[in-house]
A and B are shown apart, each in its own frame.
Chain A
Amino acid sequence: MGAQTHPKFWGYRRPDGRVGVRNHVLILPTITCATQAAKQVTELVHGTVSFIHQHGCAQVGVDYEQTFRTYVGMGTNPNVYGVVVMGLGCETHQARSVAGEIAKSGKPVEVVSIQDHGGTLGAIARAARIAAQMVQDASALTREPFDFSELIVGTECGGSDACSGLSANPAVGVVSDMIVDLGGTAILAETTELIGAEHLLAERAVDDRVAKRVYEVIQAMESRATAMGVDIRTGNPSPGNIRGGLTTLEEKSLGAAAKAGTRPLQELVEYAQRPTKKGLVWMDTPGHDIEQLTGMVAGGAQVVLFTSGRGTPTGSPIAPVIKIATNTPMFERMRDNMDLNAGTIIDGTESIESVGQRILEEIARVCSGKLTKSEILKQHDFGIWRIGPTF
């Protein structure tokens, strides 16, 4: 029982005190123009990761800030040992500014600019040389045991079906409560997919201010759909959700909210913002799987629990994503992508609590180094929730 009451994982302590469960060197392109060069560096240097995106220029105001916060959050995530920030040179999201913020965490950070360092090939060579040294330094670190109180665990559902709210989501809810009780942080997100369930979460808010914020973010998300003059059902629930038996967004939301367990809601944080409280925290993100995942990882989540009914390949370049099937037939069909099966609850062979315990044990293993399916398949998804137009 000792392992159940005081589970530990083996991680890496970072200079800012946070604990990583991976030891990546991140090649971070702050502008779409540098993503191809960054990808070339990862081809050359073992132990590096990067991601393709289309952001980082001609952005203004809150939209500029959200993208900037996301880059900095990816770099400061404790799963990252060190960062080579790659820029073009003339973009709005300057590599130097992003690197300056990441450097405050105390981890190694260097900047390479395509315009300043000899064009594409010169920049790739320079970045690869810096990254190679970082990878060797990172490899000299050893894992140490830590309590679950060091963890920020993101929770997410994607490709939902009618089983999501019956099996995998309630099981993740059990895990969310366990993480909170162990002193850690569990992130609930995807505001869109809480429309129709907000009253249940507002009731659990620690104070009136947090409860008010719940209604504010829900109203803001819903009004984005109504401002477009369309039924939100034209995009959410998705065609796959509907084939899976989900009829309305409210029905999907009530199933999605089961991931939040039963503990009090401590705070509501912005997209890609690091929680300031332990316990259950709501991050304001859209329902889009990759944008939500990116927001939680940029917010400091070291590991993500992802439930799916239809099956998805989703993964992050820097955080392991444990994918949990809501039903056994899909788990059997998509074993390449799914890590755990909660369909046993539907089959009647396992309880929700028992599946929750299995997930908790898997978190300990994955956070100690066991690779998830999406890591093995190099599913390095990244997408930022844009909240303004490109100019």
Chain B
Amino acid sequence: MEYKTVMMKPEDSVAVALTDIPAGTTVKVTCQDRTFVVQLRDTIEFGHKFAVVPIKRGQDVRKYGEVIGVASRDIEVGEHVHVHNVEGKRGRGDKVGRANPS
């Protein structure tokens, strides 16, 4: 069975599932001149993201060709990419507080 996915820009590190896709499925993701064959390590729900390249802890995560956050731990190809392994970089009052204890 062919599962639909979308990857916005070739430089992105993630693609989006356009249907629920079970763990273990191998999907082919194409974006312009780049193609990735990815075996999913997790079940990916409709609208959720998975990694098409390995992302190291502390590395930026890209979608739409732009930075959507930073990996909070190492992420392997085919892993679900979401709040458990990505943090936002903006509006981080919690980080400001830690950086400037008063």
Contacts and interface: CB of A to CB of B under 8 A. Distances in A.
Interface stretch (A42-50, A103-111, A248-256): A248-256
Identify which of A226, A244, A248 gathers the most chain B CB atoms within 10 Å of its CB: A248
Contacts of B49: 162, 245, 247
Contact of B69 (A165, A197, A200, A251): A251
Contact of B91 (A161, A233, A255): A233
Contact of A232 (B46, B61, B88): B88
B73 interface: no
A250 B67 contact: yes
Interface stretch (B22-30, B35-43, B78-86): B78-86
Report the contact-size class of chain B (Cβ under 8 Å from the partner): 20 to 34
Contacts of A197: 66
B90 interface: yes
A166 interface: yes
Interface string B58-71: 00010110111100
Interface in A248-288: 248-251, 254-255
Nearest to A249: B88
B43 to A, nearest CB: 13
Given A166-B16, A231-B88, A232-B88, A248 B68 contact: yes
Interface in A217-257: 222, 225-233, 236, 242, 244-245, 247-251, 254-255
Contact of B47 (A162, A196, A232): A162
A248 B47 contact: no
Contacts of B82: 242, 245, 247
Given A161-B47, A162-B47, A232 B63 contact: no
A221 to B, nearest CB: 8
Contact of A251 (B68, B91, B95, B96): B68
A58 B96 CA distance: 33
Interface of B: 4, 6, 8, 16, 18, 45-49, 61, 63-64, 66-69, 81-83, 86-97
9 contacts: A195-B90, A222-B90, A225-B93, A230-B94, A231-B95, A248-B69, A250-B68, A251-B69, A348-B4
| Leading 3 A-B pairs by shortest Cβ distance | A232-B91, A162-B47, A245-B47
